[in-house]
Structure 1
Amino acid sequence: MGKRVSLKDIAAKVGVSTALVSYVINGLEKEKRVGPEIVKKIREVARELNYKPNQIARSLRKGSTNTIGLIVADIANPFFGQLARIIEDEAARHHYTVIIGSSDENCVKSAALIEALLDRQVDGFIIVPSEGCNASIETLVQREVPVVLVDRFLPDVNANYIVLDNFKATYEAVTHFVAKGCERIAFVAYQSSLVHMQERIRGYRQAMKDHQLEEAIQVKELLYNHAKDFMDNGVSELLTGNQKPDALLFATNALSISGLYAIKNHNIKVPEDMAVIGFDGNEVFDFFYSPLTYIEQPIDQMGKESVRILMEQIKGNHQTVQIELQHRLIQRQSCG
C-alpha cells in the first residue's frame, strides 16, 4: 500500500504553507482570504495526488462528523423512500452524509436506532416518530441534540417539526366527494394515537358533520402490521355491507394501494360504483384504469426544510421551529 498523501505533500508541490492548504481543504478559504488562483491550484493538486482527508482526525478536530441520522417508518414505503432521497440530496449540498434506518412503526426499534446513531456520533437527527417514542425524543431534546421531527409531531414534546395540516387535507377530500354527489363516504385509516392519523380522522369526521352526513360516518381503523390481512379478508364487510359506501377515502399511500386491489377483486367499478381518493401520489396509480384523485403532500418542501432547520440547529440556533404545510388535491378520474 502506498504512502497516504498528506497536506504537507500538497503544500510542497504547490509551493505554499501547509496551513494555507488546510484552509482550502477545510473550506475556510474565504474566511482566511486565500486568493482564488491559489485555491484553484491547491484543489487541482489535491485531485491529482488523489488526496483523501482523514475523516476520523477531521471529526476530532471539528467536533463534528458531518453525518446526520434519518429514521423513517419504512424505507420501502414510496412516500418515505422519496422523502429520504430528498433529505439525502439536500444534506449533500451541505456536505453531510445521511445514515438511514427504518423503525417499522416500533418504538423499541426506534429507540435502538437512536442509540446506535448516537454511538456513531451523528451531528443531529431527522425522525419520523413512531407511536410511543416520546421518551427517546424528549431525551434528545433535553440533551440539546439537534433533532427535527418530520411528517408527524409529538404534542407532549417541544421539538422542531415540519408536518402537513392533516385535518384540512381530509376535510377537503370529503368536501370534494360531496361536490361529486357522494353521501356514504367511508374512511380507511390505521389504528394509531399519533397526531397525524388522529388529525386525518378528525378532518374526515368534521367534514361529514358539516355536510350533514354524520349518520353516514364509517371509519375503519386497522393495525399497521395487519393492513394486508384486513384488505384481503375484511374489506367485504365495508364494500358489501348494509351501508355500502359510494366513496372511499384512504389515510395513507400504502392503504390506497391495498384498497385499489380490494376494489378490483370485488369487481367494483371506479368511479361508476364508487369514488376513491388516496393519500400521496404513487406510480402504481397511473396503471389503475381510473387514474386516482389524491391528496398531495409537499414532500420536496418537507424534506428540504427539515434539513435547513437541522443545519441551523447544528450551528447553534436553538430556537424551536414548528411548521405546518398545506396539501394540494390532485383531481383525476376516480371521482368522476
Structure 2
Amino acid sequence: MKKSVSLKDIANQLGVSTSLVSYVLNGHAKKKRVSDGIAKKIFSTAERLNYRPNQIAKSLKTKKTQTIGLIVQEIHYRYTTGITRAIETQAKKSHYTVIIGNSHEDLSTLKELIHVLINRQVDGLIIVAAENAEAEIEYIKKQEIPFVLIDRNFPSVETNFIGIDNFRIAYQAVQYLLARKYKNIAFINYNTSFFHLQERNRGYNQALKDAGLPVKRSLHKEIRKKHYEQDVNKAMAELTSGKPACDAIFFATDTLAVSGLRNLIQRKIKIPKDISVLSFDESDAFALSECPITYFRQPLEAIGAAAVNLLFEVMNGKGECQQVYLESTLVKGRSCGEPE
C-alpha cells in the first residue's frame, strides 16, 4: 500500500516549516501573512505529491468535522435550490461542507434526518422545519447542537431564525392592490398550522380592516396541501363566478399561484383584463403567462448567507437567540393593471 503524503513531506520538499504548510492548506495564509508566492508553491507541491488531508485526525484534534447539516422541505422547489446554493457558497468561504437532507415535508423523515446528521457529528444544523415540528426542535436544543431555523419558525420555541416578515409582506400586498383601486380582493392560502402562513392570513385580514373593508369569508379560500390542484380549481371557479366576482386574487405561495394561473389560462380568463393576480413568491412557470406576473421576491441569497453567519456565531458561543427578518422586494409586472 502506497504511503500517504504528510504535511512534513511537503515542508521538506520546500524547505519550510510544517506549521507554515498547515496554515496555507487550511486557508489561513492571509491571516498568517504568508506571501502569495510561497502559498502558491505549497499548493502546487501538495497537488504534485497528491496530498490528501487526514480528515479523521483533523477532526479529533479540532473537535470539528467542518460540516454543516442542511435539512430542506423539497429539494426541487425554487426557494430550496436558491437557499441551498447560497448556504453552500457562504459555508465554502470558511472551508465547510454542507450535507443536505430532504424531509419531503414529512415529520418522521425530519426526525430521522436530525438523528442521522447529529450522529454524523456535523458542527451545526440549518433547518427548514416540517409542520408541527416543535418537539423535534426542542430535542435539538436539549442536545445542545448549534442550529438555525430558516423560512419557518415556532413562536412557542425560542430559536435562532432567519426569514422574512410574512405579516408585513401580506399587508403590503393588499395595500398595493387597494392603491390600484381593487376592492374585492381574494386570498388563496393553504389550510395549515404553519406560523409563517398564518401570518400571511393575518396580514391580509388586517390590511382590509385598516382600509375599512369587510373581511369576507367567501373571498378567503383555504386549500388542502395534498389536494391543492383540485381545491384551487374549485376556489377559482367560485371566485370568478361570484356576485360580485372578485377583481383581484392574492396567492400566498408560488405553487398556489401557478395552479391558479393554469386554471385561468385553461378557462381563457384574461389577466389583468378580467381579473388581476399577485403572488407572494416567484416561479419560473410565470414565464408561461402572456402577462408578466407581479410578485414579492424573497432575498434567497441574503437569507442563506445570513443563516450560515448566524450559525457560526452560535457555534462560537456568541450572543443570545436572534430572530432576523430580511426585506422582500415587490417585482412589478402587469398582472395588477400596471402600465406597460
Residues in 2 aligned to 1:286 and 1:215: alpha-carbon distance in whole angstroms = 32
Q: Which runs of 5+ in 2 are unaligned?
A: none
Map Cα deviations across residues 114-171 of structure 1 (whole Å, 9 max, x no partner): 1111111111111111211111111212332111111121111111001211111111
- What SS does the aligned partner of 1:100 have? strand
Q: Which residue number corresponds to residue 220 of structure 1?
A: 221
136-145 or 27-36, larger mean C-alpha shift: 27-36
Conserved? CA contact 1:67–1:99, under 8 Å: yes
In the alignment, residue 303 of structure 1 is paired with which amino acid?
G
Q: Percent identity?
A: 44
Residues in 2 aligned to 1:33 and 1:77: alpha-carbon distance in whole angstroms = 43
Conserved? CA contact 2:170–2:280, under 8 Å: no
- What SS does the aligned partner of 2:290 have? coil
Residues in 2 aligned to 1:306 and 1:14: alpha-carbon distance in whole angstroms = 40
Q: Which residue number corresponds to residue 309 of structure 1?
A: 310
Tell me how far 1:33 sits from its aligned partner: 6.8
Q: Which residue number corresponds to residue 292 of structure 2?
A: 291
Q: Which residue number corresponds to residue 149 of structure 2?
A: 149
- What SS does the aligned partner of 2:90 have? helix
Residues in 1 aligned to 2:89 and 2:23: alpha-carbon distance in whole angstroms = 26
Residues in 1 aligned to 2:215 and 2:136: alpha-carbon distance in whole angstroms = 41
CA distance 1:33–1:324, change in 2 (3 Å): closer
Q: Which residue number corresponds to residue 87 of structure 2?
A: 87
Aligned residues: 336
Q: Which residue number corresponds to residue 131 of structure 1?
A: 131
Tell me how far 1:334 sits from its aligned partner: 0.1
**CA RMSD between the two structures:** 2.0
Q: TM-score, normalised by structure 2?
A: 0.92
Structure 2 residue 94 is the aligned partner of structure 1 residue 109? no
Tell me how far 1:25 sits from its aligned partner: 2.8
Conserved? CA contact 1:162–1:322, under 8 Å: yes
CA distance 1:305–1:219, change in 2 (3 Å): same
Residues in 2 aligned to 1:13 and 1:118: alpha-carbon distance in whole angstroms = 40
Residues in 2 aligned to 1:79 and 1:130: alpha-carbon distance in whole angstroms = 15
Q: Which residue number corresponds to residue 67 of structure 1?
A: 67
In the alignment, residue 224 of structure 1 is paired with which amino acid?
K
Conserved? CA contact 2:186–2:220, under 8 Å: yes
Tell me how far 1:254 sits from its aligned partner: 1.1
Q: Which runs of 5+ in 1 are unaligned?
A: none
Conserved? CA contact 1:183–1:216, under 8 Å: no
Q: TM-score, normalised by structure 1?
A: 0.93
Residues in 2 aligned to 1:335 and 1:11: alpha-carbon distance in whole angstroms = 66
187-196 or 30-39, larger mean C-alpha shift: 30-39
In the alignment, residue 141 of structure 1 is paired with which amino acid?
K
Residues in 2 aligned to 1:142 and 1:119: alpha-carbon distance in whole angstroms = 15
Q: Which residue number corresponds to residue 26 of structure 1?
A: 26
Tell me how far 1:66 sits from its aligned partner: 0.9
